[in-house]
Amino acid sequence: MSDRPPGPRRTCHNARMAAQSPTGAPTFATLGAGALALVNDEPVAAPGDDVLGTGPAAARLARLLHASRGSTPFTLAVDAGWGMGKSSLMRLADARLRAEPGVETVWYNAWTSTGADALEGLVKSVLVRFERRTLKRALARISRGRTVVRGVRAVTTALGGALGAAGLVDELWTSWDAGPEARNGMREDIGRMAREWAGNRPRRLLVVFIDDLDRCSEETVLAVCEALKVYLDVPGLVFVVGCDRSALGPSGLLRDLSPAGSAFMEKIFQTSYRIPVADNDGVARYVEWCARAAGIHGILDEELKKLLVERSGRNPRRIKRLVNGFVLEATLNPVWSGFRPEAVIRTLLLQYFYPEFYRMMTGASGAPGEDVVQEFTTYRRVRRALLSPVPPAAQGPPLEYASVAEAGTFFEQYELSAPAGEQDPAQALELLERRLPIGFPEHADDQGFTSLLADLLELPDAERLLVLLREGAPAAVEGPDYAEPAPGPYGDLGGEVYGAWTASAGGGTPYGAETPYGRQLPFPEPSSQRRQAQQSYPVPAQAQAQPSPGYSHPVPPAHPWDTGAGPPPVRELEGVRILWIDGKRPSNRAVVRWMRNLGAAVTVVRAADASREMTVFRFDLLISDLTRDGDRVAGLGDLQTWRSSGTYTGPAAFLSSRITPEHRDAAAELGASMFNSRGKLLGYATDVAASLRAARAAEPSGPAPPPSDGPPG
C-alpha cells in the first residue's frame, strides 16, 4: 500500500477535460451502457430469495410458535437494528405458519397509523380474522346489554344478514367507542370472542406480526402497546413484534416516559430474539448476489467486496443502497463517464463511509493549497515518523515516513515548530493535531480508510478525479428543490451540490440512523415540543456538546430532506428569526429553504452587512461561516466582536466542512457550537426553537407586545 500524494493542483480547464478517458481504458460510461438494474429493497418473502440463509431460523421460529399455542397469549420481539433482516425473518415465518392447519396470520405495519389510530387499526386487524358468526354473536350480546348502543342494535337488526366481517368489526368498534363504560368491557368482549374462535383441542392460533414499531412516534408506540397489553392479551393470540429494542428503551424513543410508563413497557415483551449478524462469508455471498443482480459484479474485486462487508456493518440494506448508488451513477451521471469504474466506486465509498472527509475533498477544505488529501497523507507520514521508536535515519521508505525536513515544513504551515532535541514528539504531535481536522488521528489508524484512499491515489484516473472534485464540473443531475446539496461532482455550487448519489445510497435516512447530536431515533423525528419543559433558553444543554467525528459510523449523518417526501407538516422553527452570514455559498440555499418551510424567518447577508442587520432587528439564532477571504477564523473574530460590544448575545453556530479541535474550543468559549453537516445544524436550530418556545411560555402573561419589524423571510 502506498501513500503517494496526488499531483499538483490543476486549472478548471483540466477539470472540464476530466471526462476524457485514457485511450482504450474501460470507463464508467461503458459500464452504464450495459445491462444494469436496481436491486429490490423489499424484505425477503420467499425461500428462493433468501440469500443470507434466514429461512432455517424462520422455520424454527414458526415451529416454536405453533407448538406454543397452548401457552397463549404472549408477545415475542424480533430484535435487530435498521436493515438487519427483521422483516425478512418475519415474512418467511409468516409464510411457514400460513401453511399450518388451524393457524391464521395478520400482518400489521405500525408505521401506517399514527397515535390513537394505531389502537383502532390493530384491534380491527385482529377481529376481522374471526368468523362472521362469532362477530355477529358478540355484537348481539353488546346490543342487548348496553342501552348506549341502540343505534348499533338497530343496524344489527336491519343489516345483520348483509354486513361482512369488516362491517361487523366497525360496528363493534363503534359500540366500544361510545363511552368509558363501553370501553371498560372491551377486553372482556374480545376475550370471549377469541376463546370462541380458538376452540379447545387442538386450539387454533392467530399470529399477529407487527413491523416497524421502532419507526413510529412515541404516541403510536404507546397506542400499540396499549392494544397488546390491555385489550388483546387474550387466549389464542401471539404477537411477533419487529423492532430495535434499544430504540424503544429509556435512552431512545421513549426516554421521556415516567417511571410508571417505563414499568408498563417492561411488561409488553415476554421474550426477545436478537437476530445475529451474519458472518463475513455469508455477507460476502450477499454482496456477490447483489452485484450480479445489478450487473456490476465484473468491477467488484475481492478487495472492494471485503470493504463493503466490513464498512457496511454487515448490514444488508446498506449494501443494497450502495449497489443501487453505483448503478444510478453509472446510468444517470455523465460526470463520471470518462473515469474507470474502480476510481468512481472508490470515490463513492469515500463519500458513503467517510462523509466528513469527503466534504473537505469536494469544497473549500481550508487545507494548505485547498488539498485535504495531500494534507492527510503528509500528516500520516509525519505522524509515523514522530511516533516511531526507530531513529529517523533508520526509518522506512519516504512514502511511509516523512523526513526531518518534510516534518519541519509541515509544522511551519500551522505556525508550529517541529520537535527538536529532547522535546517529546508525542507532545508536539498533540499540538499539531489541534490545528488539523477532527478525525485525522482516527483516520490514520483506520486501515480501511487508508487502504481506500491509497488505492484511489494509485489509479491512473486519480489526479484528474481529484481535480474534478476540488474544482467542480458542469452540472448534471439535480434533486428536488428541498433536497440538501449533496457532496459530489455534479456542479460548481461551492463543493456541495445536488445529485442522485445522496438520495439513492449515501444520503438516505435509514430509520434508527444518526440524527442530530448522535441521538438514535427513527425518522421522522418526533416533534421537539415534548422536550420543551426540559429545556431552557437560549441554548439547550445537549447542543453545547461539540460534534464528534462521525467517520467510524457507516451511514452519513441523517438529513430530513433526503427522504424525498417534501417539507414535513410540523413547523418546528415557527417564529424563530435567523441571521445567516453566508455571502458566497449558494449550496446552502436548500437548507435555508427548508428552515423557512419549517416556519423560520431567515435573512442571508454578507459579513459586511451583518452588524447593520443586528442593530435594526432582533435575531434568535446566528449562523455563520468560519473562513472568509483567506482568513480561516474570520467568523470567530466577528462573533468575538459582537459578543464584546453586546451587538449579539444569543445562540450562535458555525457551519464548516473543516472543524479542528482548536476552532471547536474557541467557538465553545464564545458560547457557540460548530457543525460540519447541515443536518446537525438543522437539529440544533430545532432545539433552539424549542427552548425559545419554552422560555416564552414561562413568561408571565401580560398585554400583547406591539408588532415587531422583523427581518424579511
Cα(326)–Cα(419) distance, rounded to whole angstroms? 45
> Which tops the pLDDT comparison, 602 or 112?
602
Q: How far is CA 76 from CA 61, 99, 106, 365, in A?
A: 10, 21, 15, 50
Contacts of 146 (CB under 8 A, 6+ apart): 175, 178, 181, 182, 185
Pairing of strands 74-79, 237-243: parallel
The rounded percent of the chain whose pLDDT value lies above 70 is 70
What is the rounded distance in angstroms from the CA atom of residue 694 to the CA atom of residue 684?
15
pLDDT at position 72 is: 87
Alpha helices in 388-540 (DSSP H): 404-412, 425-433, 440-445, 447-458, 462-471, 500-501
Show the cell assigned to 376. 492527510
Query: Which of 635, 233, 594, 658 is closest to 438 using CA atoms?
Result: 658
Q: Residue 463 contacts by C-beta under 8 Å, 6 or more apart in sequence?
A: 6, 7, 10
Beta pairing, strands 621-624 & 652-655: parallel
**Mean pLDDT lowest among 162-176, 305-319, 524-538:** 524-538
Interval 692-708 mean pLDDT:
69
Mean pLDDT of 105-117: 80
Residue 638's pLDDT is 94
Q: Is the pLDDT of residue 586 over 80?
A: no
Name the residue type at position 532.
Answer: Q
pTM for this entry: 0.65
- So what's the pLDDT on residue 500? 27
* Separation in Å, CA 343 to CA 71, 332, 679: 58, 17, 28
Mean pLDDT of 621-638: 89
- The residue count of the chain comes to 713
| Same-fold call for 53-274 versus 516-698 | yes
Model confidence band, residue 184 (pLDDT cutoffs 50, 70, 90): confident
435 has pLDDT over 90: yes
pLDDT of residue 540: 35
- The answer to whether residue 2 scores a pLDDT higher than 50 is no
Dihedral in degrees, nearest 10, Cα atoms 671, 673, 674, 680: -170
Q: Cα(144)–Cα(189) distance, rounded to whole angstroms?
A: 13
State the pLDDT at residue 377: 93
What integer is the mean pLDDT of 384-390?
85
**CA–CA distances in Å: residue 20 to residues 15, 57, 337:** 10, 51, 8
Please, which pLDDT band fits residue 380 given cuts at 50, 70 and 90? very high
Name the band, by pLDDT with cuts 50, 70 and 90, for residue 381.
very high
Cα separation, 557 vs 509, in Å, equals 8
Q: Which helix (H) or strand (E) holds 141?
A: helix 132-145
Range from 155-159, 524-528, 610-614 that averages highest in pLDDT: 610-614
Q: How far apart are the first and last CA of the chain?
A: 53
Taking 90 as the threshold, does the pLDDT of residue 601 lie above it? yes
- Please determine, for residue 482, whether its predicted confidence score (pLDDT) is greater than 70: no
Stretch 44-60: mean pLDDT: 79
pLDDT tens-digit series, residues 283-337: 888 888 888 888 888 777 787 788 778 777 788 888 888 888 888 877 787 777 7
Position 569: which residue type? P
User: Residue with C-alpha cell 444569543?
Assistant: 650
Give the pLDDT band (50/70/90) at residue 178: low
Q: What is the pLDDT of residue 665?
A: 96
DSSP run (H or E) holding 576: none
Determine how many CB atoms are found less than 10 A away from the CB of residue 269: 19
- From CA 512, how far away is CA 246, in angstroms rounded? 10
Name the residue with higher pLDDT: 554 or 356. 356
The band of 17, judged by pLDDT with boundaries at 50, 70 and 90, is: very low
pLDDT exceeds 90 at position 671 = yes
At residue 684 the predicted structure's pLDDT band, cuts being 50, 70 and 90, is: very high
| pLDDT at res. 393 | 62
Contacts of 391 (CB under 8 A, 6+ apart): none
Other beta carbons within 10 angstroms of residue 72's beta carbon come to 20
Q: How far are the Cα atoms of 73, 122, 369, 629 from residue 664, in angstroms, in the given order?
A: 54, 49, 22, 20
pLDDT score recorded for residue 26 = 63
Range list of β-strands (E), 344-404? none
Taking 3-state DSSP, the helix, strand and coil percentages for the chain, each rounded to the nearest 5, stand at: 50, 10, 40
d(CA 160, CA 156): 5
Mean pLDDT is lowest, of 146-150, 357-361, 709-713, for 709-713
pLDDT band at 16 (very low <50, low <70, confident <90, very high): very low
Q: Please report which confidence band the pLDDT of residue 530 belongs to, taking 50, 70 and 90 as the band edges.
A: very low
128: cell is: 376481522
Q: Closest by alpha carbon to 121, among 169, 181, 160?
A: 169
Largest Cα separation within the chain, whole Å, is 101
Mean pLDDT of 352-379: 85
The larger pLDDT score, comparing residue 523 to residue 242, is at 242
- What whole-number percentage of the chain has pLDDT above 90? 20
Regarding beta strands 496-497 and 486-487, do their DSSP bridges make them parallel or antiparallel, or are they unpaired?
A: antiparallel
- 356-365, 434-443, 469-478, 517-526: which range is least confident on average? 517-526
- pLDDT classification of 39: cutoffs 50, 70, 90: confident
Average pLDDT over residues 181-193: 81
3-state secondary structure of 135: helix
Tell me what pLDDT residue 484 has: 34
Spell out the domain ranges in the chain: 53-274, 516-698
In this structure, CATH architecture of domain 53-274:
3-Layer(aba) Sandwich (3.40)
Q: What residue spans of 631-672 are helical by DSSP H?
A: 634-645, 661-669
Provide the pLDDT confidence category of residue 28 given band limits of 50, 70 and 90. Answer: low
pLDDT value at residue 189? 87
Cross-strand partners of 109: 211
| Rounded mean pLDDT, 576-601 | 84
Rounded (10°) angle between helices 132-145 and 150-159: 140
Tell the CATH topology of 516-698: Rossmann fold (3.40.50)
| 30 membership: H or E segment, kind and range | helix 28-32
For residue 237, what is its C-alpha cell?
Answer: 393470540
- Mean per-residue pLDDT over the chain, rounded: 74
Task: Give me the amino acid identity at 664.
Answer: R
Q: Nearest 5°: CA angle at 356, between 350 and 362?
A: 70
User: 369: alpha, beta or left, given left = phi > 0 and alpha = psi -120 to 50?
Assistant: left
pLDDT in tens, 406-424: 999 999 999 999 888 778 8
pLDDT band at 523 (very low <50, low <70, confident <90, very high): very low
Please say whether the beta carbons of 566 and 698 come within 8 A. Answer: no
- On the question of pLDDT at 516 being above 70, the answer is no
Average pLDDT over residues 640-656: 94
In angstroms, rounded to a whole number, what is the distance separating the alpha carbons of residues 238 and 64? 12
